[in-house]
Amino acid sequence: MPPQPAAAAAPWRALFLSGLEKSSASSFTLSTIAHAPGKPAVPRARTVEFRGFFPKPASSLHHSAIDALKAQNIGLNPEVYESDLFSITTDARMGKVGQIGGSSNGEGDEAVEGVFWFDEGVKTQWRVRGRGVTVGSGKEEDAGRERRVQERIFRRMRLREGADGVSEEVKGWEWERQVATYFASHTPAMRGSYKNPTPGTPRSQNPSNPEWKLNQKVEDLRDPVARENFRVLVILPEEVETLDLSNPEDVRRTRWTFIEDGEAGRWQEIEMWP
């Protein structure tokens, strides 16, 4: 099921990337909704690092990470796909993953909103509303959910210009290798953080797994303890909104709404009063 080769980039994409580059911002605020039995739903927000649009190209990695992918026989995914889906990396044990329903035992609320503020010379707020999903669980009990999520992401991916959808190169693209690419993009110390004691549990409690300790360095990109907790969180945007304050006398607010229209979908743009 190759994605539609003709699908075009989102109309806001170039503007977003130019603001990101100019402002040198790299993190944003990600909000989720937390449900608990018998309690009203509450918002939760935290800072996360934007890891680019899915799928992260291997060529964007540090050369040591590229060398590690090759040396450990994982290899590099061909750079044949792109999308307008925001990616971040996270730990399956953190609150946000359960809140969006990405943990093994959880039904969650996939609704998320990401807020970027591009300050320096850009003065623009970006709000990205949509569905948050995770990939990267290798657990057998997650296999069905993982495949359904992959299909949803795949439907919003497109072939890069010049890529031939039926070529052997395109067929060689693999999900597992893509998750490993995100894992490799972290430093060994950052990879080690996926073997920390469970985030958010009391420090007075001994970790239930003796391999969970602070300050570990991970070189093995398949390290089972770290990879069990490592996830790529992908935002499938449904609504993207900018508030451009760069000219105080002409503040601009624009919203793009994703319309599921045939295979590829399309974006509808409206200019609003700020």
Ligand X SMILES: Cc1cc2nc3c(=O)[nH]c(=O)nc-3n(C[C@H](O)[C@H](O)[C@H](O)COP(=O)(O)O)c2cc1C
Binding site for ligand X (CB under 6 A): 27, 44, 46-49, 88-91, 94-96, 199-200
Closest contact distance (angstroms) between CB of 132 and ligand X is: 11
Q: How far apart are CA 29 and CA 183, in angstroms?
A: 21
167 versus 201: smaller Cβ distance to ligand X: 201
Residue nearest to ligand X (CB): 95
Count CA atoms within 13 Å of residue 12 on its CB side: 31
Give the single-character DSSP code of 106. Answer: -
Closest contact distance (angstroms) between CB of 36 and ligand X is: 14
In degrees and rounded to multiples of 5, residue 158 shows phi and psi of -140, 160
Q: How far apart are CA 102 and CA 92, in angstroms?
A: 8
- The amino acid at 221: L
29 versus 72: smaller Cβ distance to ligand X: 29
Closest contact distance (angstroms) between CB of 146 and ligand X is: 19
Strands 86-91 and 230-244: antiparallel
Closest contact distance (angstroms) between CB of 182 and ligand X is: 11
CB of 255 within 8 A of CB of 269? yes
10 versus 94: smaller Cβ distance to ligand X: 94
199 versus 274: smaller Cβ distance to ligand X: 199
